[in-house]
Chain A
Amino acid sequence: MSQFNVKITTASENSLILYFGESEGRVVSDDISQQIQIVKQLIELEFQTAIIELIPSYASLLVTFDPFLLDHFKIRHFVTQAVLPNANHSSDATLSEKVVELPVYYGEEVGLDLSRIAECAKLTVEQVIAKHQAQDYRVFAIGFAPGFGYLGQVDEQIATPRLATPRSAVPKGAVAIADQQTAIYPAQSPGGWNIIGRCPIDMFTPEQQQVMPFDVGDIVRFKKIDKQTFISMGGQL
């Protein structure tokens, strides 16, 4: 792992936002994602219940603390020390990189924007599907809605900007692309991402112990399935 480069910025009366990487939070990489996971764990271990919330994202970590137990100087000092080149963070933090395989049905009745993406990219629909499946994706952030994971980086050739006018209802399970991000809609909601398929697995199950199939930092791999398999796995058309 490369050297840590962290810029600490005020976010609110009781929040700091840490920007990672040489370009201070503007570039996405696996390395930066791992650094964020490490610093997040170190802060949790050090300050425990004095931390109210930690929100990791592509190249940043929002740290919200209890202002009656902690002040921002303590966190700034700790983070500055913890990321020094000689600090031994590897012994305290462990990187989890669970690989999660998610089935996707790419049929034309569910992949509403497949042909348009193919046309723009001067590829066939099959090539777009192949490119979407050809690689592993990292979970960079979870947000927007419960269970909504932002996965990246999508092959530049099939990266497609958001729709100019968002759809009022994107179906539950829709697999979609926006620029170099891909995601699965956990529930029906409005949305402007380009829809390429549908996943039969629930992304957010509050009644189960494991509420989501993945965490930030995990790896997701998409596996193409046919219509019959999609339906047998509980998928809804």
Chain B
Amino acid sequence: MSKEPLLIADAFFVEKAGMLTLLQDAGRFGQANLGLTHGGPADAHAFYWANRLLDNAPNSCALEITVGGLILKSNISSCICLTGANIPLKINGQLRANWQTHQVKKGDMLEFGFAESGIKAYMAVAGGFQVDKQFGSVSTVVRESVGGLSGLAIQPEDKLPAYEPAQQPSHKKQLEESQQPNYSDDVLLRVVLGYQVDSFSKVEQLKFLTSSYQVSKQWDRMGYRLEGEPISSTQTAMLSEGIALGAVQIPPDGQPIILMHDRQTIGGYPKIGSVFSLDLNKLAQCGQGTSVSFKAITMEDAHNELHLDRYRFEQASIIETAW
């Protein structure tokens, strides 16, 4: 008879919460009628890989660690994985590789250092963190006080529940190094032009597509405000309307704002289009001073790229070795 997995209420105890650590699943969808935004992982690529390496369901809840500084004490025998930003992970003082599964046992100390490249890292546990969903999702949106543990970012002394697997996997899994992303300080964002694009003259559109912008000090999970060549719209008063992920809003000062996962659901500034989601993953790994430029892409090309990316994700080779 096989053993049942056992739910451990304090599978991980938070010794230090780090700069900003959030419980995230894939996001909260279909709740815009209440004014609730999507939330979800800022870098979906790294998030899905953390769950994939552990054979978790894709939507399983993981920790989004911003920059680092998190320390957890394990009260469980299980497996974990860290993907995304290059944050050094030490288990009981010993450095462990990212993009790879690791065994943990009761009493282990998991120490997450500070990012050497990138900003957002994802720590997943076998089976996912077991936190009650609110409005269909665990994703924490601090601005809305929704999701996570009581709508808050992870706090010191929080207890994170998880299942103790009935048996440990026989192999460790690892994403081949050549397939791990390099996070750079120079990103090219493909944009599907749309919304009020016609209210920007051809000259203004060219300015937008040929200039280089810098990420300002105002960047977070809601949006990235850029600095550079201002562009202007002929749009006058506008009624508030629904905002898609990645929408590039141009306020009266002409400096673009890219709206991210925790964006408000509706807004009234003109928008020139929306950044392609696969490129938002790269932007989410960048902070102040990053150089950003734009390139137009059609909806059909974006569609094609999404399907190719999904196929590559499914086909990617995972290295399995004995522990």
Contacts and interface: CB of A to CB of B under 8 A. Distances in A.
Interface of A: 9-15, 17, 25-26, 28, 52-62, 64, 67-68, 71-72, 141-148, 150, 187, 204, 206, 211-212, 215-216
Contacts, number: 131
Contacts of A64: 244-245
Contacts of B143: 145
Contact of B34 (A14, A54, A142): A142
Interface string B74-106: 000000000000000000000000000000000
A12 B192 contact: yes
Contacts of B36: 146
A62 B135 CA distance: 20
5 contacts: A12-B192, A61-B242, A143-B265, A146-B34, A206-B146
Interface residues of B, number: 43
Contacts of A187: 145
Given A11-B247, A12-B245, A15-B244, A144 B35 contact: yes
Select the residue from A10, A13, A53, A67 with max chain B CB neighbours within 10 A: A13
B203 interface: no
Contacts of A15: 242, 244, 274
Contacts of B265: 55, 142-143
* Closest 3 pairs between A and B when the two form their complex, measured CB to CB: A62-B242, A55-B242, A12-B274
Contact of A13 (B195, B264, B299): B299
Contacts of B30: 52-53
Given A25-B241, A144-B35, A57 B266 contact: yes
B195 A11 contact: yes
A141 B264 CA distance: 12
B217 interface: no
Given A13-B274, A13-B299, A13-B306, A145 B35 contact: yes
B126 to A, nearest CB: 26
A4 to B, nearest CB: 18
Given A11-B247, A13-B274, A57 B32 contact: no
B146 A141 contact: no
B120 interface: no
Nearest to A15: B244
Interface in B28-87: 29-30, 32-36, 38
Contact of A59 (B29, B239, B244, B264): B239
Contact of A53 (B32, B271, B303): B32
Contacts of B168: none
B302 interface: yes
B234 to A, nearest CB: 14
B298 to A, nearest CB: 9
A148 B265 CA distance: 11
A176 to B, nearest CB: 15
Contact of B134 (A13, A52, A206): A206
A55 B239 contact: no
Contacts of B243: 55, 62
Contacts of B267: 143
B137 to A, nearest CB: 13
Interface string B237-259: 01111111111000000000000
Interface string B257-276: 00000001111000101101
Given A11-B195, A57-B239, A143-B266, 18 more contacts: A10-B193, A10-B194, A10-B273, A11-B242, A13-B303, A14-B244, A17-B244, A26-B239, A52-B30, A55-B241, A67-B303, A67-B307, A143-B240, A143-B267, A146-B35, A146-B36, A146-B144, A150-B240
A165 to B, nearest CB: 16
Given A17-B195, A25-B241, A141 B310 contact: no
